[in-house]
Amino acid sequence: MCKRIEDVIADELLALTDGIQTLGFETMRRRQRKKREAGSLNYKAWRYAVFTRDKFTCQLCGAKLPADKLEAHHIKPFSVAPELEHMVSNGLALCHECHVKTDSYGGRGHFKEKGEKTV
Ligand SMILES: [Zn+2]
């Protein structure tokens, strides 16, 4: 059975727009993934640099811990100073127990005023 030319064109157009949409979506997803990967890579590097500077020791209780047991604390939280997010000087190696006691743990620093001292 022969297709009518309108149907052929419609099919072609549909395939074409599908392709464009898929490409657009894929490109978007790829860009988002790259951004996320770059962000997490920066974060990992920052975290490791903080641990190295602090000699893998919790800066509050003095516990010496491996990297997977240590946490990198932002002295000035991201919500207050996003430009310091990956600055080693804004990081502090803490054990989990000490980290949860900080003012800004888990986004609590969100409500702090700019410049207010946080541990
Ligand atoms: Zn500690």
Residues 1, 68: Cα–Cα separation, whole Å: 66
Q: Give the separation between CA 90 and CA 81, rounded to whole angstroms.
A: 9
Kindly state the DSSP code that residue 73 receives in the 8-state scheme. Answer: E
Q: Which two tokens stand for residue 11?
A: 């099919």
* Percent residues over pLDDT 90 in the chain: 45
In a domain, 118, yes or no: no
42 within some domain: yes
User: Tokens in use for 119?
Assistant: 């541990």
CATH number at residue 33: 1.10.30
Task: Determine the length of the chain.
Answer: 119
Q: Which residues surround ligand 1, an ion (CB under 5 A)?
A: 58, 60-61, 95, 98
- What is the distance of C-alpha 28 from the center of its chain? 18
Tens-place pLDDT, residues 32-88: 887 787 778 889 999 999 999 999 999 999 999 999 999 999 999 988 999 999 999
Domain range for 64 is 5-111
Instruction: For residue 39, tell me if it sits in a domain.
Output: yes
**pTM of the predicted model as reported, rounded to 2 decimal places:** 0.63
Alpha carbon 83 to chain centroid, angstroms: 14
Q: For residue 105, what pLDDT band results from cuts at 50, 70 and 90? A: confident
Residue 116 lies in a domain: no
CA of 18 to the centre of ligand 1 (A): 54
Question: 118 or 75: whose pLDDT is higher?
Answer: 75
Total domains present in the chain? 1
